[in-house]
Structure 1
Amino acid sequence: MLRNDTTSARFRLALAALLFATLPFAAHAQTPVWPPKLVRIIVPFGAGASPDIVGRVLADSLQTRHPGTNFVVENKPGASGNIGTDAIAKSTPDGSTIGISLGGPLAINTLLFARLPYNPDTDIAPITLLTQLPSVLAVPTSLGVNTVAEFLAKAKADPKGLGYGSIGVGTLSQLCMEAIGQKAGANMVHIPYPSSPAATTALIRGDVQVACLPAIGVTPQLATGAVKILAVTTAKRSPFLPDVPTLTESGIDVQSDAWNALVGPGGLSKDVVATINAEVTQTLAEPAVIEKLKLQLITPSPTTPDQLRKRMADEKALWAEVIKAAKIRID
């Protein structure tokens, strides 16, 4: 009997040792394997737009760190970013497809379209905020105003309403101008353009009297003397335009932050999300990446997935009343 007990005890010890020895391998097997051999980065906007620029900078950095993987940027523009964002939402949730989107397709468009082909709350997995970039309130020099207060006085005095340019119906450039008009009690006429360069050209020509546009589209024109920047739309002064006041400083309580975010399909596991988040956060801290983005007046701003989810909800809450008051609909 004693011999059997001893044999049994030895067997249990041997089994325990075997299980202990395999634990590191089991833990290793559970670690998400990312990136796979091919990673598609979908951008719901055209080449040259800020999400595309950020996507290509990101892809280049990840490619350098992971030479065994091909990182491919795919542009899928259309429907205010909905087409590309829908492609992200409907992709296989294994980390092989991620994408760059922004406040429109991830939040604001739920207020503008009767129905979307995806639900940002359930079909999209937030990974991290990527970058932020300032927009500016700009006027043609020929308008003869030098401050926001002077512009608002002129706008309120015009019974027909000054014309403002934007980069499309429902875009941040329209919402910002509508919010300014609503806060100031000034009527303005919306004139949409297909792109930021087109809207900037209209501003230079005096075809419109004001526009809220990405700073990078306006700043190159300052040297010509044809346009003037009155304010930045961010909560704080931009490090790229430190001498330009914010709208809030100028007496009009409107804030509008343009941002890009990295997202995946809704079924993406938390482990894979965490792995990609860590990789991208490392990328955004690289000096070379920071310098490339700086040339476009873009600031890296990585966050946790939960912080990005909150940012999406905050964006929708911020513009809901503006959209309702202006009766803006796309479909």
Structure 2
Amino acid sequence: MSVAATPAHSTRRVFLGSLASLPLAASSALWSGHAMAQDRYPSRAIRMIVPFAPGSSTDIAARSWGEVIGRQLGGASVIVDNRAGAGGNIGATAVARSTPDGYTLLYSTATTWAIAPLIYQDLAYQPTRDFLSVAVTTTVPTLLVVSGDSDIRSFQDLADRVKAAPDRHSYGSNGVGANSHITCKLIANRLGVPNLLHVPFKQGSQGVMAEVVAGRLTFAVDPWSVVGPLVRSGRLRALAATGSKRLSVAPEIPTLSEMLHQELDTTTWSGLWAPAGTPADIVTRLHEGIAAGRKNAALVKQFEEQGTPLMPDMSLPQVNMFMKQEVERWKVMVKEAQISV
């Protein structure tokens, strides 16, 4: 039951593949002014809001990037502030309503930028209106997992079980409309059980995975940085990777596309945003701080080992172009998932 790649997926591949050949635009030519603000910034601690729970892959990455940005800004203190809830919307709204002075930032995923506006009818913020994009940092492919004690030992086992008795199975997510929700719903759809019970968790990854390990949830998805240690210890069993290719840290795990014999790539990504109205020179300094971190071999290796490799380096215009294309890619998947709030 093979299907062709969707135009949105093809466009994303062409865009990412072309980045290496595109010259990075000189930020200084595009962002100017506010010299006095630049001289003073930062004069106090920077608060980086993560709209997901502590211990989530986004939280783990934010703490690493916070250290990078702090060093690049002359030893500034960057404090990670977790504001979980509503699929990331609570934290994103807090940043959108904050003073645009560079001291409150949002470190999040495609969920709050590209996905939430497609799902929530009364979203309290609008990404293109309320945020300035600073950088795209890492890719975030996820792993489909079941309990290590389960008799489900392969993706085919999972398919057989849920199709035979859908009322006895369920999946968990990090919140309604989160990437994990959409991914699991698409898996259920492709298996022919679209009404499989969904259990969202306010406390995020740790709560979901505790229930999967205990066998009270049949399956869930989360990045390797979260599930990897549990897979290695035998408490979880990984059945498939949700990206377009196998993870370098776990090459033995097949992709969903391989298992389904049709394309299903729900890889998301992480990025950094500032509230709209933040001085352009501060946005540039933050962008350059992220860019400098990419040259740190230890950091690059760290993210590779976490299963969240760095995205290609992008200029600010390229970041904006990429994010616009991601909205179009997610429109296709949200439409199939038929999730709305």
The normalised TM-score by structure 1 is 0.79
Shift in alpha-carbon separation, 1:86–1:248, aligned structure 2, 3 A: same
Structure 1 contact 162–209 (Cα < 8 Å) conserved: yes
Q: 2:138 aligns with which of 131, 148, 171?
A: 131
> Are the structure 2 counterparts of residues 53 and 265 from structure 1 closer, same or farther at C-alpha, using a change threshold of 3 Å?
same
Q: Find 2:238's aligned residue among 229, 253, 277.
A: 229
The CA deviation string for residues 194-250 of structure 1, in whole angstroms up to 9 with x for no partner, is 322222222222212222222233222234434321111111211111221111122
Query: Given the superposition, is the C-alpha separation of residues 189 and 262 from structure 1 closer, same or farther in structure 2, using an over 3 Å criterion?
Result: same
- Retained in 1: the 8 A contact 2:131–2:275? yes
**Structure 1 residue 183 and structure 2 residue 183: aligned?**
no
Displacement of 1:129 in angstroms is: 0.6
The C-alpha deviation readout for 1:159-186, integer Å capped at 9, x for no partner, is 5363222222222111101111222323
| 1-structure distance, mates of 2:265, 2:33 | 47
Mapping for residues 1-331 of structure 1, pairs under 5 Å: 32-33=38-39, 35-38=41-44, 39-67=46-74, 69-158=76-165, 160=167, 162-187=169-194, 188-193=196-201, 194-250=203-259, 251-294=261-304, 296-301=306-311, 302-320=313-331, 322-324=333-335, 326-330=337-341
With 110-119 and 217-226 compared, the bigger mean Cα shift is at 217-226
Seen in structure 2, the aligned counterparts of structure 1 residues 98 and 211 have a Cα distance that, compared at 3 Å, is closer
Q: What do you get for the CA RMSD once the two structures are aligned? A: 3.0
Tell me which residue corresponds to 1:20.
none
Distance 1:97 1:159 in 2: 45
1: distance between equivalents of 2:75 and 2:214? 50
The CA deviation string for residues 45-102 of structure 1, in whole angstroms up to 9 with x for no partner, is 3333333322222222333344464433333333332232223223333433332122
Matched pairs, number: 305
Give, as a single letter, the amino acid of the residue that structure 1 aligns with 2:95: I
**Using CA pairs below 8 Å that are at least 6 residues apart, which structure has the higher relative contact order?**
2
CA distance in 2, matches of 1:320, 1:240: 30
Alignment check: 8 A CA contact 1:37 1:68 kept: no
AA of the residue aligned to 2:316: P
In 2: Cα distance, 1:279 partner to 1:224 partner: 36
Residue segments in structure 2 that go unaligned for 5+ positions in a row: 1-31
| Alignment CA distance shift 1:266-1:185 (3 Å) | same
Whether the aligned pair in 1 keeps the contact of 2:69 and 2:286 (CA below 8 Å) is no
Structure 1: gaps spanning 5 or more residues: 1-25
TM-score, L = length of structure 2: 0.77
Query: How far off its partner does 1:126 sit?
Result: 0.7
Going from structure 1 to structure 2, the CA distance change for 1:202 and 1:68 (only over 3 Å counts) comes to closer
Query: Judging changes above 3 Å, is the alpha-carbon distance between structure 1 residues 75 and 218 closer, same or farther for their aligned structure 2 residues?
Result: closer
Separation in structure 2 between the aligned mates of residue 143 and residue 89 of structure 1, nearest angstrom: 43
Contact 1:132 1:259 in 2 (8 A): yes
CA contact (8 A) 1:63 1:69 kept: yes
Change (3 A) 1:162 1:68: closer
Q: Percent identity?
A: 29
| Equivalent position SS for 1:228 | strand
Mapped to 2, the partners of 1:189 and 1:276 lie a distance apart of 42
The worse-fitting range, judged by mean Cα deviation, of 261-270 and 309-318 is 309-318
Q: Is the 8 A contact 2:223 2:307 kept in 1?
A: no
SS at match of 1:239: coil
Tell which structure's C-alpha radius of gyration is larger.
1
Query: 1:34 and 1:145, CA in 2 relative to 1: closer, same or farther beyond 3 A?
Result: farther
Matched to 1:225, the amino acid is G
SS of equivalent residue, structure 1 residue 121: helix
Q: Secondary structure at the match of 2:121?
A: coil
Range that drifts further, 77-86 or 106-115: 77-86
Bigger shift: 242-251 or 270-279? 270-279
SS at match of 2:258: coil
Residue-by-residue CA offset, 1:238-268 (whole Å, 9 max, x unaligned): 1111221111122242111132111112223
